[in-house]
């Protein structure tokens, strides 16, 4: 066979000819020039992005006898001249040689020195296809190979390579190639081959290749075989099985008009043409992505005919509808994968979408959705503003209610002085009303603190609450104004509140009883006064009754 496929004919044989992967090329070239080549490499990335090509270039350059200081091969030594037929560059397809026997055979041969080169290079393509036993057989050899051996492992599925293997390699991630890089390379090829092709066709080939240089060159090769005269954009769609942008616009118009007959005709024609439905669905999703990009940023990407269609669709559809359509198409794509009636699944999804959004005789759902979205956004802004106001209120409350130790003592004293057993029992019986404000935007911050706390001494003007956790006690006292506001809202009393922990409450209670027995009684004091203990008229028995076990006991 005299004809050589274009992707093989124009495969780069030095780093200067490689398109894209600049970072990978720079690192490997510097390693070769500085004689710091690793014993094992792992190249991973999408198909057709240059993994095997760079592996072969690396194998050539490490064996070049007169390599220049900038990493260019001499092109005259034995390794350069016999680059394609060297016995010292061994390429293994792991997809068809994935057994343990093949790897053991490789392991037995690596001790043989290179026949005509400095290094013997083993390139194992699609290495993730090796079996577990094969990986285990390779492991020790890969870790400590002879000094004349270099392993280059390539894979499109790096997560399937065991960590014990990948950790022993220098890893390089190959990325998809930019459309511009692919077009530049295609232009070099068409100029060398004297191929007459439209510039738009080159860009469309690059887009359809999805970042793979080899796929792009293969599409070009098919087009050259298909047509002897000038290759047009329509030829690209015909050979690749794609739909033109004019056809996409035609479908989007039919959906917008809810023209069911036109939609069915379009999909029937598409199906009868033998085109792949799921491929078209994926391309339609990408097209709608470009429409959203244009509507929101004004950016247009691609050829002029595509940009014209993007603008037209952008005028027909609102953002919300485009978002929903993309989601529906993605779900449809997933269903198609598991169905033998892909065109029916696609047609049903499109008809359903068109009917839901653009059905005649009903109010335009598009406007309803946008209005609903606007209302939701407005409501969200209100909530955010409310939260911001609450935050400010809490901050103000914190600043105003940061109680000193003296103020806490005064409030404890006054609560004990005015304690009412009947009031406390009523308060405790209705304490669960705080639950009603757990999800209230205004009081959710503090209602949770009160829910886990217990009132132990109180009156219509003063209240002591207890919590087991010091952190909760501190937060209550820090938010005391907001808490007093909530209690006013629930119980309709203006109470001065103070929170203390269990240990403090036990101390205060015991101290209270001891003082009563000594004749030291409590009366209301002002926070400005220094002395927090005063005599009052209540008898000792009356005061002990106020804080009896039935009142203070809690869980």
Tens digits of per-residue pLDDT, 424-443?
Answer: 888 888 888 888 887 776 77
Residue 205 sits in the same domain as residue 295: no
Domain boundary among 358, 381, 414: 358
Residue 370 domain-assigned (yes or no): no
Residue 15 sits in the same domain as residue 143: yes
For 93, the enclosing helix (H) or strand (E) is strand 89-93
Residue 305 sits in the same domain as residue 325: yes
Residue 161 sits in the same domain as residue 107: yes
Pairing type for strands 454-458 and 462-467 reads antiparallel
Residue 368: per-residue pLDDT: 52
Contact yes or no for 343/277 (Cβ under 8 A): yes
The span from the CA of 440 to the CA of 446, in Å, is 10
**Residue 94: CATH number of its domain:** 3.40.50.300
Residue 379: per-residue pLDDT: 62
Residue 25 sits in the same domain as residue 111: yes
Residue 325 domain-assigned (yes or no): yes
Residue 503 sits in the same domain as residue 437: yes
Residue 459 domain-assigned (yes or no): yes
Residue 473 domain-assigned (yes or no): yes
pLDDT in tens, 73-86: 888 888 888 877 78
- C-alpha distances (whole Å) from 65 to each of 37, 53, 379 are 15, 20, 73
Residue 306 sits in the same domain as residue 408: no
| Residues contacting 486, CB < 8 A, separation 6+ | 434, 437, 443, 446, 447, 450
Domain boundary among 240, 270, 296: 240
| The pair of three-digit structure tokens given for residue 510, joined into one six-digit string | 């015991």
Contact yes or no for 495/461 (Cβ under 8 A): yes
Residue 327: per-residue pLDDT: 92
- How many domains are there within the chain? 4
Residue 297: per-residue pLDDT: 87
Mean pLDDT, residues 306-326: 89
Q: How many helices (H) and strands (E) does the chain have?
A: 26, 8
The span from the CA of 142 to the CA of 165, in Å, is 8
Residue 350 sits in the same domain as residue 432: no
Band the pLDDT of 535: cuts 50, 70, 90: very low
For 202, the enclosing helix (H) or strand (E) is helix 199-208
The strands making up 40-44's β-sheet, listed across from edge to edge, are 89-93, 120-125, 149-155, 40-44, 170-173
Residue 250 sits in the same domain as residue 224: no
Which residues span the domain enclosing 488?
402-552
Structure letter (DSSP) for residue 499: E
Contact yes or no for 255/349 (Cβ under 8 A): no
Place of tokens 């999408």: 46
Residue 368 domain-assigned (yes or no): no
Residue 420 domain-assigned (yes or no): yes
| The pair of three-digit structure tokens given for residue 549, joined into one six-digit string | 């076990």
Per the prediction, the chain carries an average pLDDT of 82
Say whether pLDDT at 194 is over 50: yes
Domain boundary among 138, 173, 208: 173
Residue 123 domain-assigned (yes or no): yes
**Residue 330: CATH number of its domain:** 1.20.272.10
For 55, the enclosing helix (H) or strand (E) is helix 51-62
Residue 366 domain-assigned (yes or no): no
Residue 552: per-residue pLDDT: 42
Residue 217 sits in the same domain as residue 316: no
Which residues face 171 on adjacent strands?
A: 42
Residue 149 sits in the same domain as residue 230: no
Residue 232 sits in the same domain as residue 259: no
Q: Between these two residues, 406 and 536, which has the higher pLDDT value? A: 406
């Amino acid at each position: 066979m005299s004809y050589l496929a274009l992707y093989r004919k124009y495969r780069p044989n030095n780093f200067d000819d490689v398109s894209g992967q600049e970072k990978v090329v720079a690192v490997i070239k510097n390693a070769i020039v500085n004689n710091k080549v690793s014993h094992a490499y792992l190249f991973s990335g999408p198909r057709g992005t240059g993994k095997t090509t760079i592996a072969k270039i690396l194998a050539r350059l490490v064996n070049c006898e007169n390599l220049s200081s900038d990493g260019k091969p001499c092109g005259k030594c034995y390794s350069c001249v016999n680059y394609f037929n060297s016995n010292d560059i061994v390429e293994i397809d792991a997809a068809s040689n994935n057994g343990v026997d093949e790897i053991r055979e490789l392991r037995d041969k690596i001790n043989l020195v290179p026949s005509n080169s400095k290094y013997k290079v083993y390139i194992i393509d699609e290495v993730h296809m090796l079996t577990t036993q094969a990986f285990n057989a390779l492991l020790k050899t890969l870790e400590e190979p002879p000094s004349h051996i270099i392993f280059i492992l390539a894979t499109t599925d790096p997560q399937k390579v065991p960590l014990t293997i990948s950790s022993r390699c220098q890893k390089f991630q190959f990325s998809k190639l930019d459309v511009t890089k692919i077009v530049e390379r295609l232009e070099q090829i068409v100029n060398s081959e004297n191929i007459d092709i439209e510039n738009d066709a080159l860009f469309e080939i690059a887009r359809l290749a999805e970042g793979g240089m080899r796929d792009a060159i293969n599409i070009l090769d098919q087009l050259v075989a298909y047509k002897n005269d000038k290759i047009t954009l329509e030829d690209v769609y015909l050979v690749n099985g794609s739909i033109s942008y004019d056809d996409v616009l035609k479908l989007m118009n039919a959906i917008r008009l809810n023209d069911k007959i036109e939609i069915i005709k379009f999909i029937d024609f598409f199906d009868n043409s033998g085109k792949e439905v799921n491929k078209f669905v994926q391309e339609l999703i990408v097209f709608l992505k470009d429409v959203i990009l244009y509507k929101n940023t004004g950016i247009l990407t691609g050829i002029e005919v595509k940009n014209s269609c993007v603008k037209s669709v952008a005028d027909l559809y609102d953002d919300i509808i485009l978002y929903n359509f993309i989601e529906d198409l993605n779900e449809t794509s997933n269903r198609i994968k598991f169905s033998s009636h892909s065109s029916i699944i696609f047609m049903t999804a499109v008809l359903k979408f068109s009917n839901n959004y653009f059905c005649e005789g009903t109010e335009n759902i598009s406007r309803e959705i946008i209005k609903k979205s606007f209302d939701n956004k407005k409501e969200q802004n209100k909530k955010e503003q409310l939260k911001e106001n609450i935050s400010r209120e809490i901050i103000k409350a914190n600043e105003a209610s940061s109680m000193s130790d003296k103020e806490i003592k005064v409030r404890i004293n006054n609560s004990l002085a005015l304690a009412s057993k009947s009031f406390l029992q009523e308060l405790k019986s209705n304490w669960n009303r705080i639950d009603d404000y757990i999800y209230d935007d205004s009081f959710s911050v503090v209602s949770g603190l009160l829910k886990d706390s217990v009132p132990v001494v109180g009156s219509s003007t003063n209240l002591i609450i207890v919590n087991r956790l010091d952190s909760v006690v501190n937060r209550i006292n820090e938010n005391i104004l907001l808490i007093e506001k909530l209690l006013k809202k629930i119980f309709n009393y203006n109470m001065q509140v103070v929170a203390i922990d269990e240990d403090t409450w036990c101390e205060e209670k015991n101290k209270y009883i001891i003082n009563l027995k000594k004749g030291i009684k409590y009366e209301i004091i002002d926070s400005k006064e220094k002395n927090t203990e005063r005599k009052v008229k209540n008898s000792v028995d009356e005061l002990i009754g106020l804080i009896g076990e039935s009142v203070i006991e809690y869980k």
